[in-house]
Chain A
């Protein structure tokens, strides 16, 4: 079974600084998707960024980028120029490819952004 591990329950970053959230996963599949979701206090699950395992290039979305290390099964999220609105829970998630299938989530990292 696939598992996703987020070893940082909480992180803090100053506004305008950079922070990296860690995620590791375990799977026997060779092709899959990885995601980072943001959950603000409103509870809404918002997709931040996704990575296809067959792509070697790391995904980027504006201030958000990932460091995908397939051999190490590591998928970290880097937030540059942090803003107060980035404060939220961040969940790493895994999904198999090829069919609509479930997301397997990590336990989340609570990110605080300070002035």
Chain B
């Protein structure tokens, strides 16, 4: 498998422009996560989806951020309008959510990370 694919790997844009980050999860995975990494705040979850449905978007900083997952093999994270403080590395991760009790091996589902998109907003 090719792993989680993110594009672009690097994005430089000017303040006020729209930015769209893309993610293709591992085939067969049914959970998808968007994380952001900054020097100030470290790694933090923005939003995650189970079976294409957003479950927790409490980490989305403000209305300028939106995420969609139109199908099981594609997700986007959009920033409109972008601001310099949005500069960060954005990671997408996917996992396979399995049924099972809390003490079952099958409840473990490793998150596989993509290579990240380094966003610079000037």
Which A residues are within 8 Å of any B CB, using their own CB?
31, 33, 42-45, 47, 50, 52, 54, 91, 97-108
Contacts and interface: CB of A to CB of B under 8 A. Distances in A.
Contact of B56 (A43, A45, A54, A102): A102
B89 A43 contact: yes
B10 to A, nearest CB: 11
A100 B50 CA distance: 8
A98 B102 contact: yes
Contact of B110 (A47, A97, A108): A47
Contacts of B101: 98
B113 A44 contact: yes
Interface of B: 30-31, 33, 35, 42-45, 48, 50, 55-56, 59, 89, 91, 93, 95, 97, 101-103, 107-111, 113, 115-116, 118
A28 to B, nearest CB: 15
Given A43-B89, A45-B113, A97 B102 contact: yes
Given A52-B108, A100-B109, A107 B116 contact: no
Given A98-B107, A100-B97, A100-B109, A91 B102 contact: no
Given A43-B116, A45-B113, A105 B42 contact: yes
Most B CB contacts (10 A, CB to CB) among A47, A99, A101, A104 go to: A101
16 contacts: A43-B115, A44-B116, A45-B93, A45-B113, A50-B108, A50-B110, A97-B102, A97-B103, A98-B101, A99-B107, A100-B48, A102-B45, A102-B48, A105-B44, A106-B42, A108-B42
